Amino acid sequence: MIPSIDELLAESAVLSLPMRTKFRGITTREVMLIRGPGGWGEFSPFVEYDDQESAPWLRSAIEAAWDGPPEPYRARVRVNATVPAVSAAEVPGILARYPGVDTAKVKVAEKGQTLADDVERVRAVRAEIPRVRVDANGGWTVDQAVEALTLLTEDGDLEYAEQPCATVPELVEVRRRLPGVRIAADESIRRAEDPLRVVRAGGADVAVLKVAPLGGMRALLELAGELGEYGVPVVVSSALDSAVGMASGLAAASAIPRLEFACGLGTGSLLETDVADGAELVDGTLPAGPVEPDPERLRALAASDERTRWWHQRLRRTYTHLR
């Protein structure tokens, strides 16, 4: 049963979280936290998403706050470092925030940057981290992807290349032309009406799954099971969540029977301040468990009245798409 709008808003908080480094083109992450009988949930679709695309995010927040997490298989989850599109000189400082981590995801294909910038950044990461994966967010054409991935693998293998191109046919073609590079699908799964289409078409070796865009922890687990039938392993990743949203990602990852790859659930270090103290990285792993926001931080990080009204209106509009 879906709680009413009044129940969702009764114990909610809209927050503005400052970021250490520009990521996804933003320097402040706005989130709306909702408290229910099962704990806290997070409603935080990016501001450019329309109401229909935001509906799974609200469904996910309701699941976390009313139903709580699924039963886990493991207490801790191995995570990767996330390196934004910074200069090569800034890489050691970024990686220092991830003690014990042996895998790094490096952002590439950033607007306003060059392929040479990407190569130098990946090189700097390789000097410190043994396993490297790159994420282009669909920013390359097929020819650009082939050229870039060929250069990026001259000094060593990539664990995989995430969403090198935007469309499923392009991913299929890149995978055909570069059989030695694993291709991971992200946007082609979480923003698709049929999340299995890219796998059926032969466009992905790995699936990157995010709790909120898929509608919750249990929806992610169901899709992970279906992908497993195709022999496609999954990586659970964050959507630049606060500690509350990250807890749902860690809970989902802890409930997957077999995790072959480190998960992208260490992005809390991209935030200058979070709603709760981040869990301590131990040997490159984070614990799966509930998060209770700090009341003082909820007050200190509260968004303006104008932005709070905007999020309340957004929730009301999105709510109409839940049924």
Note whether 94 and 306 are within 8 A (CB): no
Residue 86 and residue 314: Cα distance in Å, rounded?
A: 33
- Find the catalytic residue in 22, 105, 111, 210: 210
DSSP letters of 264-284? Answer: B--GGGGBSS-SSPPPPPBTT
Q: Is residue 22 among the annotated active site residues?
A: no
Per the structure block, which two tokens stand in for 61? 């927040």
- Is residue 90 a known part of a binding site? no
- Is residue 194 a known part of a binding site? no
Pairing of strands 26-36, 39-43: antiparallel
Per the structure block, which two tokens stand in for 56? 């799974």
Phi–psi pair at 31, nearest 5 degrees: -140, 155
Per the structure block, which two tokens stand in for 81? 């470092």
Locate tokens 């570069």: which residue? 178
For 3-13, b where at least 16 C-beta lie within 10 A, e where not — what string? beeebbeeebb
**Beta bridge partners of residue 287, listed in sequence order:** 76
- Find the catalytic residue in 22, 105, 107, 111: 107
DSSP letters of 117-176? Answer: HHHHHHHHHHTT-SEEEEE-TT-S-HHHHHHHHHHHTSSS--S-EE--SSSHHHHHHHHH
- Is residue 162 a known part of a binding site? yes
The residues carrying an active-site annotation are 107, 210
Which residue ranges make up the annotated binding site? 135, 162, 186
What residue numbers does the annotated binding site for Mg(2+) cover?
A: 135, 162, 186
